Each structure stands twice: as structure tokens, then as C-alpha cells.
Chain A
Amino acid sequence: MSRSLLQTLGFILLGVVAMIVVAPILLVVGTIVARGISAINWEFISSMPRGGMREGGILPAIVGTLLLTLGTALVAVPIGVGGAIYLSEYARDTRLTRAIRLAIVNLAGIPSIVYGLFGLGMFVLFLRFGTSILAGSLTLAIMTLPVIISTAEEALRAVPQDFRTVSASLGGSRWQAVQHIVLPQALPGIITGVILGLLRAAGETAPILFTVAAFYLPRLPSSPLDQTMALPYHLYVITTQVPGMPLSVQYGTAFVLLALVLSLNIVATVIRSHFRRRRQW
């Protein structure tokens, strides 16, 4: 066989493999959208579950997930962005800095269920927050930190060094440069990172299993110390724990969760590409 024919066949094979990777993804999303969208109506997203969760809606799960995501953001964004500013603007390449980077890599690698155990041990039991939105948000926030720190640091580092030099030459302090120049310039990148981190938190089940999630709680939470239902856990419950659950409810719930996560994903992508195009450096 001639070498060029071999090459053509090889390239075709690689293309086929790429299709094998991509096709199931489209199949999963396509199936859940197609079968889920018909289960969605106003009642489904705006009312309490009834009849052993087989009827009614999933409002408390939606609200629960939104509240958890908000709580996660309140904790993780300041710590994450602050940590990124330290790493990008202040830290020198010392042993300690390397320890921080190692800690970030390892935080990113800790299994989500281990975060669940940690949240149970520290927030639920030791700090006596009980199974609550507070305990769950804190657990999810620590899990989200590495994503936010890494992407925010990357965004900060992408701001040209000249900007800082010019600021210093005008008599600005290092913090002034960060506050007035570097941070505003890096903001779109940071926002993208924050959204990517939060959407991961919104879709996680394992960390909230023992820290927040209520099996069945048909009312809205009234304080951060309340338990709540949440979309990912609710999907797990109705697909594995409750017999005789109508498929339409399962697909509907999966669709709402997927739509929430993917729309955040799209928002992040749009922000990123929009500002990349507008950027002048």
C-alpha cells in the first residue's frame, strides 16, 4: 500500500474516532432535550411535588439548587479571586508558593464524595450547622475553589506586564495597579471562570448527599440553616430510590438540570469569546 494511501486511511480513521467521541455526547444531550422538553410545563417548574413526587412540579429542587449555587458563589468568589490575585500579583516563586499550587492541584483532584464526607464531619457535625444550605454551600465552595483560582489567575496573568509598569511609573502602588487596572482588565476572564466553577457546583450530587439534601421536602427553605431539595439529588432519588416513577418526570427533571448547567456554560463561552475579540492587547 502506498504511503499516501496509508496516510489518507489513517486520517479518516482518526476522524471516525473523533466521531465516536462526539456522537454519544450529542446523543445524550439530544435524547434528554427531546424527551424532557415535552414533560416541561409551567406547573412542572412552578409547583410543589405531589403524590410521592410522581405528580406536581419540582419547584423546591430548582429553588434549592439556585440557593446552593448562590451560597457557593458568596463564599468561593471572594476567596478564589483573592487567592488568584495573590498568586498572580504578589507571590514570588518560593517553596511556599509551590505548596499553594500543589494544594490547588490536589483540591481539584479530591473526589466529590470525599468533599461530602468532609462537609459532614466539619460543617454538619463539628460546627453544628446540621444538614443545611449553609453546610452544603460551604462544602461546594471549597470544592469549587481550585477552578475559580486557576482560571482567575490565568486571566490576571494575561494582562500585559506593561500595564503594571506604567501604573508604577505614575507613582501607583501595587494594590492601586491591581484595583484600577489589572482587575478590571481581567474581569471577563474571571467571570468566565466563576461561572464554570459554579456550574460544576450546581450539578454535583455527592457533596450534598449528607450535607444538605432532603429526600422529599415540599416547601421552600426559609433560612440558611434549613434543609432543601436540590435538582441533582432529586434526579438521583427519582431514578433509583422511588419505584414506579413516570419516565416523563425523570426526563423532565434531567432536562431542567441539564438546561441550567448548559445555559450557564453557553453564557461563559459567549463572555469569553466576546471579550477576546474586543481586547486590544
Chain B
Amino acid sequence: MSGAASGGAARVSPPLRKSRTRAGEFAVEAFIRVLGFSTIGFVVLIFLFLLREGVPAFFEVPLNGFFSTRWYPTFKLFGTLPLILGSVLVTVASIAIALPLGVATAVFVREVAPRWAREVLKPVIEVLAGIPSVVLGFFGMTYVAPLVRELLGAPTGLTAFSGALLLAYMALPTIISVAEDALDSVPRSYRDAGLAMGATRWQTIWRVVVPAGRSGILTAVMLGMGRAIGETMAVMMVTGNAAVMPTSLAFLFKPVRTMTATIAAEMGEVARGSTHYHALFGIGIILFVLTFLINLAAAKAIFQKRRRGGLR
């Protein structure tokens, strides 16, 4: 016993060599401080460069033109509304699919599943998080889109719905892991109290545990939404990319085009400094601000929780 303990102690205390100089140490610490603050610098830099290239668009295209309903760059029409609504449609639909699946899976993994099932499920979900978006897009094109076409009898399977389906799965790892943390942070005493009142485990889960973890689940949804709205490749490959105004829910089963796909598809072909070029950066600004706000809201929830000692 004592041998193991002293072995452990030996492992953690390598001989401390005399440090070079105090000045050297000061320099290292100053450097580390700079690295620590660099992230703020990067966020600012990103925003500044988007503004630098994107703001001219707001002078070249009148504001009511920039937020109008027609995006036809060849005719100098840069209305971003169809693209914004396209992104919103696909994102909202994907969350509508991913939320029930994600919460149910999180509940299953945390509250119900036997140990072996948990140890199979977790790594598989982690694998999903690691699959590159272009690979999922490829799979979506070859399998999901034809399936959607057959199921709907539509002329094409490249629809908002196909995109939403892929996005839902891409958002799932985030939603599941954050929702799991939320369930995990619900005190054990809540569960015990529910059971002691004579409720079944099922009733306790849905009437006590999940409601108690709802703010964390909301955070999960927001993070998933941020992920979905910014996703580019998979969406571009399966949504059909028609810049139309999705004015009704029927457009869920028609081709639409998102903001991200527009930038990715068109930036390669525009002349630098043209109105079209600036307009694409303008869309970048909209995306940056949108995701910034979504993540700010999610971060606020997380930080508050942490200060109250809610999340571990």
C-alpha cells in the first residue's frame, strides 16, 4: 500500500530545476497572457474584415434593395430575403426534427439505458460528430434525396426537407450532449422525491427531471440552431439551391437556397470588388451577427448556470 502511494508521489514531483532567470519567466508569462487574449482579437479581426469587404454593399445596393425579395446577381438584383428565409426554413425544420430525437435519446442514455447500451450509443454518436459535412452531403445526394423524391412523388428530391433531415443529424451530437449535461445537473433528490411520492420512473422523468432541466435543453436547442444555420456543404449539396421566396410551408418540399450555400457557390466566380462580391460579404455579416446573437444567448445561459453551480 505505502509502496503504491510513494510511487504515485514520485511520479508527480520531477526534480525542479533552477529556473533560468526571473526575467525569462516574466517573459513567458507575458507571452501566455497575450495568447490568452488572442481569441478576443480574432473575433474582432473577423468582424472587421467582414465589415471591410461587406459594408460597401450597403452603399452600392440601397438598403430596401438588399432586403428585397429577388436575388438575381446577373440583373444586379441583390435581395437577400429569399436566402435568409431559406436558411430559416431549413434551420427551423431541422430543429423540429432534431429536438424530439435529441431529447428522447438524451433521456434514454442518462435515465433508462443499461450500462452496455450507453457504452455502445455514446461512441456512435461521437462518430457522427466527426463525419465531415461533405461526406454527409454526398450520402444525402446519393441516398436521401432519391428517397425523398420517391416518398413525395416530387420532381426532385433536392428539397429544403432533405437539407433539414441532414442538418438535424448534424445538430444531434451537440443537442444530445448538452441535453445530457442538463439532465445530469438535476439533483438526485428531485428524482428521489418524485419516486417517494409514488410516481413511476417514467412519470418522474417527464414531470420532474426534464422540466427541471429545461433551461439546459433550451441551451442545447440554441447551440444546435447555431450549428444548423451556419452549415454549408451538406446543405448546398441537397437543398437544390433555387433562390425563391419560401412563403408557405409547402416550400419545405421544394428546392430552396440558404445564405451559406449562396456564398459558397458564388464567391468563386465573382470579380473582386464588384457589387456582387461585396453583397456576398454582406450575407457573411448577416450570418456572423445571427450566429453571434444565438451563441451569446446560449453562452449567457451556460455561464449563469455555472455561477449558480447548476452545471458541473
One digit per residue, 1 when the CB lies within 8 angstroms of any chain A CB and 0 when it does not, for chain B 106-117 equals 011100110001
Q: Is the CB of A7 within 8 A of B201?
A: yes
Q: Is the CB of B107 within 8 A of A210?
A: no
Q: Is the CB of A117 within 8 A of B33?
A: no
Q: Is the CB of A250 within 8 A of B138?
A: yes
Q: Is the CB of B105 within 8 A of A146?
A: no
User: Is there a chain A Cβ closer than 8 Å to B153's Cβ?
Assistant: no
Q: Is the CB of B263 within 8 A of A205?
A: no
User: Is there a chain A Cβ closer than 8 Å to B63's Cβ?
Assistant: no
**Which residues does chain A contribute within 8 Å of B37, judged by CB atoms?**
86, 96, 100
In the bound complex, CA of A167 to CA of B17 (Å): 12
> Closest CB of chain B to A75's CB: distance in Å?
11
Interface SS majority for chain B: helix
**Which residues does chain A contribute within 8 Å of B14, judged by CB atoms?**
180-181, 184
**Which residues does chain A contribute within 8 Å of B229, judged by CB atoms?**
111
User: Is there a chain B Cβ closer than 8 Å to A48's Cβ?
Assistant: no
Stretch at the interface among B64-72, B127-135, B179-187: B127-135
**Which residues does chain A contribute within 8 Å of B237, judged by CB atoms?**
236, 239-240
In the bound complex, CA of A171 to CA of B19 (Å): 11
User: Is there a chain B Cβ closer than 8 Å to A254's Cβ?
Assistant: yes
Q: Is the CB of B33 within 8 A of A86?
A: yes
Interface centre among A82, A106, A118 (most CB of B within 10 A): A106
In the bound complex, CA of A99 to CA of B128 (Å): 31
Interface residues of B in 246-303 (CB under 8 A from A): 260, 263-264, 267-268, 272, 280-281, 284, 287-288, 291-292, 294-296, 298-299, 302-303
In the bound complex, CA of A21 to CA of B168 (Å): 10
User: Is there a chain B Cβ closer than 8 Å to A41's Cβ?
Assistant: no
User: Is there a chain A Cβ closer than 8 Å to B121's Cβ?
Assistant: yes
Give the nearest-CB partner of B36 in chain A.
A86
**Which residues does chain A contribute within 8 Å of B117, judged by CB atoms?**
15, 18
Q: Is the CB of A85 within 8 A of B32?
A: yes
| Shortest beta-carbon contacts, A-B, top 5 | A111-B230, A86-B36, A203-B132, A82-B35, A109-B295
Q: Which residues of A contact B (CB under 8 A)?
A: 3-4, 6-7, 10-11, 13-15, 17-18, 20-22, 24-26, 28-29, 31-32, 78-79, 82-83, 85-87, 90-91, 96, 98-118, 120-122, 125-126, 142, 145-146, 149, 163, 166-167, 170-176, 180-181, 184-185, 199-200, 202-206, 209-210, 232-233, 235-236, 239-240, 247, 250, 254, 257-258, 261-262, 265, 269, 280-281
